[in-house]
Amino acid sequence: MQQNKLYVGNFPYSVTEDQLRALFSEYGQITDLAMIMDRETGRPKGFAFITFAAQQAAEKALEQNGRDLGGRPLKVNMAMERDASRGPRPGGGGGFGGGGAGRGPRY
């Protein structure tokens, strides 16, 4: 299977989708650019997924790894396919078990 999708991370929250598109379009035609946003604030989370029309373009765009953008080194890697067998992530709790309603010890 061809892999044309890149993960691009560690960019400043101030970077726009247009800026990312301009930076990476010099390597080839971008068919999809998904900037990941925080659900609560609506602001960018500092990473995106970029899909190129051609695998060669995606491979060439890997050269941006480590490039400074707004004072931060970009992290550019081939995107990993999500493992469908993992299923949805459980929510809440943070692994601490919850409960107790914040009460201290009883004396």
Structural domain boundaries in the chain: 5-81
What the block records as the tokens of 37 is 């946003």
What pLDDT score was predicted for residue 67?
95
Strands (E), the chain: 5-9, 30-37, 44-52, 68-69, 72-73, 75-78
Q: Is 42 left (phi over 0), alpha (psi -120 to 50) or beta?
A: left
Whole-number pLDDT of residue 1: 45
Q: What is the pLDDT of residue 101?
A: 55
Q: Into which CATH architecture does domain 5-81 fall?
A: 2-Layer Sandwich (3.30)
Instruction: Profile the chain (107 residues) by mean pLDDT over runs of 10 residues.
Output: 86 93 96 95 94 96 94 95 62 52 57
**CB–CB of 22/64 below 8 Å?**
no
Residue in this structure with the two tokens 């061809």, named with its chain if needed: 2
